[in-house]
Copies of this chain bind each other. A is one copy, B any other.
Amino acid sequence: MTDPANDATPDPATLPAGTLRALMTLADDGGRFSMIAVDQRPPIFAALARYGNRAPSDVAYEEVAAVKGVLLEMLAPHASAALLDPVWTHPHHLRQVPGGVGLLSTLEDHAFELEAGERRSRAIPDWNVAKIKRCGAQAVKVLAWDRSDVSAATRDHQDGFVAEIGRACREHDIPFVLELLIYPLPGEEPGSAEYARSKPRLVLDSVRHFTEERFGVDLLKLEFPAELKRTAEFSAGAFDGQRREAVYDLDEVRSYLSELDAVASVPWVVLSAGVGPHEFAFNVELACLAGASGFLAGRAIWYDALEDYPDLAAVRERLDRISVPYLRSLSAMAQRGRPWTEHRKYLGGVAVAGAGPRWHAEYGA
């Protein structure tokens, strides 16, 4: 609602009813996202292989499904939403997501095509936006690998992949949560000082590109645009005991985050991308202070508990003892972030598109 007493208040932005409702179900009542991901695939296969002493290819479907069920059972009740994959998790463990907790479904396949080291994303075969809407999930989550310096063919492929999903999300009136991840091209060393130095620019380029309106994104799931292990303040080994060459300091990191927030044309959350719990807590705090609306993360929260695999009772106990309090502390930090409804896109508030006595007739017609 606009305030008639204040001419400076802009008109409310509008969203289609289904998208607005679903975004509300993913956030807490204050508009922050504390979302838990259990849609990981290769990292889970690898953990079960490692702690079960066999090859990833020897890990059975049922074992993966069972572990994901335990993660969801212990963590979903403490999250504002949960992200499930449709193969190992959704069909078996839907009952583990409380009704008041939002539900996201993953669309992209964990396998991608490689063309001269460039990654081209694709959807899980036989899974699509229509099915995600139909099964009651409240958002379509898609990871797009991205580099601003790839070939035109890879650029076109990734743009087409993302734009097509954006169109389908509008067609079915469901939020589009786009995750962006940069990756090393041939010859680049992901753990190196040089790669860390290039990260802010690569992440910012990626956000700048996919935040364009033509892609139809409602919420961005972004990686932290720097490596805290490579800041002057933390490079002595604060997180893992390993000393590294520093390539920036915290003030510079804060400026990358401010720039990222200025570039993102829609609300955004931060992801954990395999960093440990200690480092991720700083990521969440810094990101939220810079304007993020919370987090959507998995491994930083539950990965360590898998060390006790295959003893599922021990995994469950460790999740309860360590991961649940950690998740709650992240949720508390997320309260320092910006409610998604207060993103500058929604400066005048947010209302249902086409509201009025004919809405029901014109909606989706």
**Closest Cβ neighbor of A17 among chain B residues:** B135
The verdict on A131 contacting chain B, using a C-beta distance below 8 Å, is yes
Instruction: Encode contact with B along A112-155: 1 for CB under 8 Å, 0 otherwise.
Output: 00000000000011110011011111100000000000000000
The docked-state distance in angstroms from the alpha carbon of A354 to that of B99 is: 21
Q: Are A91 and B21 in contact (CB under 8 A)?
A: no
The docked-state distance in angstroms from the alpha carbon of A27 to that of B29 is: 18
Q: Are B95 and A360 in contact (CB under 8 A)?
A: no
Q: Are A29 and B99 in contact (CB under 8 A)?
A: yes
The verdict on A351 contacting chain B, using a C-beta distance below 8 Å, is yes
User: Of residues 320 to 365 in A, which have CB atoms within 8 Å of B's CB atoms?
Assistant: 350-352, 354-357, 359-361, 363-365
Q: Which B residues touch A92, using CB under 8 A?
A: 352, 355
User: Of residues 73 to 90 in A, which have CB atoms within 8 Å of B's CB atoms?
Assistant: 80, 86-87, 90
The docked-state distance in angstroms from the alpha carbon of A61 to that of B360 is: 14
* From B126, B130, B138, contact of A360 by CB (8 A): B126
The docked-state distance in angstroms from the alpha carbon of A321 to that of B126 is: 53
Whether A98 contacts B29 in the complex (CB less than 8 A), given A134-B364, A136-B138, A136-B173, comes out as yes
Interface band, chain A: 35 or more
A150 to chain B, nearest CB (A): 30
Whether A21 contacts B135 in the complex (CB less than 8 A), given A125-B361, A364-B130, comes out as yes
Q: Are A354 and B91 in contact (CB under 8 A)?
A: yes
The docked-state distance in angstroms from the alpha carbon of A364 to that of B128 is: 10
The docked-state distance in angstroms from the alpha carbon of A93 to that of B310 is: 49
Whether A360 contacts B25 in the complex (CB less than 8 A), given A17-B94, A172-B134, comes out as no
Whether A136 contacts B18 in the complex (CB less than 8 A), given A90-B360, A127-B361, A359-B86, comes out as yes
The verdict on A100 contacting chain B, using a C-beta distance below 8 Å, is yes
Instruction: Encode contact with B along A1-42: 1 for CB under 8 Å, 0 otherwise.
Output: 000000000000000011111101111110000000000000
The verdict on A102 contacting chain B, using a C-beta distance below 8 Å, is yes
The verdict on A48 contacting chain B, using a C-beta distance below 8 Å, is no
Q: Are B100 and A356 in contact (CB under 8 A)?
A: no
The verdict on A301 contacting chain B, using a C-beta distance below 8 Å, is no
A317 to chain B, nearest CB (A): 20
The verdict on A103 contacting chain B, using a C-beta distance below 8 Å, is yes
Whether A61 contacts B357 in the complex (CB less than 8 A), given A135-B17, A351-B95, comes out as yes
Whether A363 contacts B136 in the complex (CB less than 8 A), given A21-B103, A99-B25, A99-B102, comes out as no
Q: Which B residues touch A361, using CB under 8 A?
A: 125-127
Q: Which B residues touch A95, using CB under 8 A?
A: 20, 24, 350-351
Q: Which B residues touch A351, using CB under 8 A?
A: 95
**Closest Cβ neighbor of A363 among chain B residues:** B131
Q: Are A356 and B94 in contact (CB under 8 A)?
A: no
* From B103, B126, B359, contact of A365 by CB (8 A): B126
User: Of residues 194 to 213 in A, which have CB atoms within 8 Å of B's CB atoms?
Assistant: none
